[in-house]
């Protein structure tokens, strides 16, 4: 079929086939999302216009995206956005793409903030700002501090906070874990989804496009948890909680890394039934 006669349906079928051959997990879905993105319509709208012929500019724009996807660039980086906790987050190669399992952490933080008038939250390793921004969007009086070792990530987090109207209640600090946080600062909640993939673990080719700093631990995969847990009591308000997303196979080691001033009160399972969020409460004053 000549290029100028390609329809929505034919181009979807061809790219689905091409994606399948490239080893993608969801070839049809990816093709639909990318075509809808190029056409500036919803995925559902594609279904009512299967016979619509595409103009050459649309075909060539779509083909460029198809090539990137076949090169295992995640769909979210191509479209520049990812939905998290019912909000659209801008994402690009500077940040980890927020994952659905991290929504458990946000939900638990919202629950633990209970009826505090103006809960304060410290998000360590904020990346796209997903956790802090989602929390502050639910709790309209919350204040947050978001830190990251990566200034590039912090720039993305700030944009997302601005886009969702919560930036004026937050601060963004560059540095290692608690390093950039004022020594006397205390928070009702400390949250973190630190890098937790061991360097020798196999990951999808898509993950290789994400920042290594966001994904991979050093030689000791528990070290960052030990540092997060040991540093927490000095920055928790009375009765405060620390919530950490954890690697499913390291629950025991991470529990054991908690200092005596913290009591592990709960481990939340993810959608797959794996231990995913560790919740500890400060016991001292
Ligand atoms: C797994 S990503 C989490 C991003 C985001 N919080 C989320 O849940 O989608 C980990 C983040 O921690 C940051 N990071 C890694 N090591 C760090 C450190 N020592 N101190 C502060 N941030 C760090 C990375 O740059 C990355 O943005």
Q: Is residue 38 part of a domain?
A: yes
Q: Is residue 79 part of a domain?
A: no
- DSSP states of the chain: --GGG-BHHHHHHHHHHHHHHTT-S-HHHHHHHHHHHHHTS-HHHHHTTTTPBPPHHHHHHHHHHHHHHHTT--HHHHHTEEEETTEEEE--TTSPPP-TTHHHHHHHHHHHHTT-SS-EEEEES-TTTHHHHHHHHHSTT-EEEEEES-HHHHHHHHHHHHHTT-GGGEEEEESSTTTTS-TT--EEEEEE----B-TTS---TTGGGS-HHHHB--SSTTHHHHHHHHHSGGGEEEEEEEEEE--GGGHHHHHHTS-TTEEEEEEEE-TTS-EEEEEEEE---
- pLDDT of 280: 98
Q: Is the pLDDT of residue 117 over 90?
A: yes
236 and 119 in one domain? yes
Q: Is 193 in the pocket of ligand 1 (CB under 6 A)?
A: yes
- pLDDT of 115: 87
Number of domains, the chain:
2
Domain final position from 45, 71, 97:
71
From 85, 121, 195, the mutation candidate for ligand 1 (largest count of ligand atoms within 8 A of CB) is 195
Q: Is residue 39 part of a domain?
A: yes
91 and 64 in one domain? no
174 and 107 in one domain? yes
Ligand 1 mean position, distance from CA 209 (Å): 15
Q: Is residue 77 part of a domain?
A: no
- pLDDT of 273: 96
- pLDDT of 5: 79
88 and 67 in one domain? no
Ligand 1 mean position, distance from CA 185 (Å): 20
148 and 211 in one domain? yes
114 and 245 in one domain? yes
Ligand 1 mean position, distance from CA 27 (Å): 30
Q: Is residue 264 part of a domain?
A: yes
Q: Is 76 in the pocket of ligand 1 (CB under 6 A)?
A: no
Q: Is residue 76 part of a domain?
A: no
Q: Is residue 170 part of a domain?
A: yes
For the domain that residue 26 is a member of, what is the CATH number?
1.10.8.10
263 and 129 in one domain? yes
Domain final position from 71, 101, 127:
71
**Ligand 1 atom closest to Cα of residue 150:** 25
Domain that holds residue 168: 84-282
| Residues 241-279: tens digit of each pLDDT | 999 999 999 999 999 999 999 999 999 999 999 999 999
- pLDDT of 76: 98
Q: Is residue 208 part of a domain?
A: yes
Burial of 5 (0-12, 13-18, 19+ CB in 10 A): exposed
171 and 205 in one domain? yes
94 and 24 in one domain? no
136 and 19 in one domain? no
| Residues 171-198: tens digit of each pLDDT | 999 999 999 999 999 999 999 999 999 9
For the domain that residue 235 is a member of, what is the CATH number?
3.40.50.150
User: Among residues of the chain, what percentage have pLDDT more than 70?
Assistant: 98
Ligand 1 atom 27 nearest Cα: 127
């Amino acid at each position: 079929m000549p290029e100028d006669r390609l329809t929505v349906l034919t181009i979807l079928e061809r790219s689905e086939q091409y994606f399948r051959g490239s080893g993608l997990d969801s070839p049809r879905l990816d093709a639909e999302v990318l075509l809808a993105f190029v056409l500036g319509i919803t995925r559902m709208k594609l279904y009512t216009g299967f016979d619509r012929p595409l103009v050459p500019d649309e075909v060539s724009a779509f083909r460029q995206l198809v090539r990137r996807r076949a090169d295992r660039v995640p769909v979210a980086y191509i479209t520049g956005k990812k939905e998290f906790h019912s909000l659209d987050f801008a994402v690009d190669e500077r940040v980890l793409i927020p994952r659905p399992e991290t929504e458990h952490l946000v939900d638990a933080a919202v629950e633990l903030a209970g009826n505090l008038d103006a809960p304060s939250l410290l998000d360590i390793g904020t990346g796209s700002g997903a956790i802090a921004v989602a929390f502050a969007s639910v709790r309209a009086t919350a204040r947050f501090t978001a830190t990251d070792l990566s200034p590039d990530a912090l720039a993305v987090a700030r944009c997302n906070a601005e886009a969702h109207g919560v930036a004026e209640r937050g601060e963004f600090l560059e540095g290692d874990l608690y390093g950039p946080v004022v020594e006397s600062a205390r928070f009702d909640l400390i949250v973190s989804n630190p890098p937790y993939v061991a360097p020798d673990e196999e990951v999808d080719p898509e993950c290789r496009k994400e920042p290594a700093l966001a994904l991979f631990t050093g030689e000791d995969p528990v070290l960052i948890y030990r540092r997060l847990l040991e540093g927490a009591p000095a920055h928790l308000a009375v009765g405060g909680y620390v919530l950490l997303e954890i690697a499913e196979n390291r629950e025991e080691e991470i529990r054991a890394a908690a200092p005596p001033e913290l009591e592990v009160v709960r481990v939340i399972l993810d959608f797959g039934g794996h231990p995913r969020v560790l919740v500890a409460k400060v016991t001292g004053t």
